[in-house]
Amino acid sequence: MSDTVTIYEVGPRDGLQNEAQNIATDIKLSLIARLKLSGLKHIEATSFVSPKWVPQMADHNEIMEALAGDVDIAYPALVPNVKGMEAALSHDVKTVAIFTAASESFTQKNINCSIDESVERFAAIAEMAQTQNVKMRGYVSCVAGCPYEGEVSVDKVVEVSKALYDMGCYEISLGDTIGVGTPNQVKDIINALKTAVPIEHIALHCHDTYGQALANIYAGLDAGVRVIDSAIAGLGGCPYAKGASGNVATEDVAYMLRGLGMDTGVDLERLIETAWFISDALGRKPIGHVANALQPEYKTKET
């Protein structure tokens, strides 16, 4: 597997949005700066959602103002609706992300509408993105299972993903939101989807609830996926998916890819240091394995 893989970092947004404690804006900006120094080129920075629903993202304006002018890195922002898109455009955001699911029940819980209604809502955002020359990424949650419905149809995953792709999403990120997927299942989903969406436009977003994330990513790579979502230190979870643990850790993904001889362009040592930085700020150890196994020098001296 001598190839190039893009790691799409979601820690500052997806990783931190579910934290119970308040996280200072300067900590978030320092996290983003450290992630940039590690060599990551796609760092999802924030979301333009109501602070009432996601209080950890209440400082989205301050975050994007601080990042303005940095054209070397993509700093996508999540937008749930037209109002959020308008706010993102006011900060000259170049990439936005929209989100739905392959499960009706999850979509109702997450964004209070049906799957079809969610896609209809995004049509206006897609038009704005096209007019303003903004790239749009689409998330499809619960592709391998739903906390409310259980099994999810592969046909539904393909249907929803194709609708987002046809709408103008340059990339479709398949989310195993509760981490129940297994390698053969992931491979089957991707093989089915790539008949409708070109493989170069498919990404994989795994949670490690059942310890299957790296195995599932390997299966995705074997099926041709070359974009992997992850969160530094294994941050994250989902407020609308009971039992969902964090995203697969960026440093774990980078370590595995290095072992496979695949180029990511990232510095593993810097990722480990960054994992400890944000974990220290949160008052706990990193959730991922590699950061604990290969602690940075300053951390080793402390312990």
pLDDT at 242 over 60: no
Task: State the pLDDT at residue 299.
Answer: 78
Average the pLDDT over 246-256 and give the result: 96
| Distance, CA of 175 to CA of 227 (rounded, Å) | 12
Residue 137 near residue 95 (C-beta atoms within 8 A): yes
Is 142 catalytic? The answer is: no
Tell me the per-residue pLDDT of 264-286, one tens digit each, with 9 for 90 and over.
Answer: 999 999 999 999 999 999 999 99
pLDDT at 244 over 70: no
Residue 102 near residue 156 (C-beta atoms within 8 A): yes
Average pLDDT, rounded, for the chain = 93
Angle in degrees, CA 91, 168, 144, rounded to 5 = 100
| Distance, CA of 103 to CA of 108 (rounded, Å) | 9
* H helices, E strands: number in the chain: 12, 9
The structure's pTM equals 0.94
Using only the alpha carbons of the chain, give its radius of gyration: 18
Average the pLDDT over 81-104 and give the result: 95
Residue 84: which residues within 8 A CB-CB, separation 6 or more?
47, 48, 49, 78
Output the CATH code of domain 6-302: 3.20.20.70
**Greatest mean pLDDT range, 144-153, 239-248, 294-303:** 144-153
Q: Which two tokens stand for residue 112?
A: 């209070």
Q: How sure is the predictor about 298, in pLDDT bands with cuts at 50, 70 and 90?
A: confident
Task: State the pLDDT at residue 302.
Answer: 63
Tell me the per-residue pLDDT of 18-59, one tens digit each, with 9 for 90 and over.
Answer: 898 899 999 999 999 999 999 999 999 999 999 998 999 999
Domain ranges of the chain: 6-302
H/E segment holding residue 221: helix 213-222
Strand duo 77-78 + 171-176: pairing? unpaired
Tell me the per-residue pLDDT of 174-232, one tens digit each, with 9 for 90 and over.
Answer: 999 999 999 999 999 999 999 999 999 999 999 999 999 999 999 999 999 999 999 99
Task: State the pLDDT at residue 2.
Answer: 56
| Distance, CA of 293 to CA of 50 (rounded, Å) | 38
Q: Which of 142, 146, 206, 238 is catalytic?
A: 238
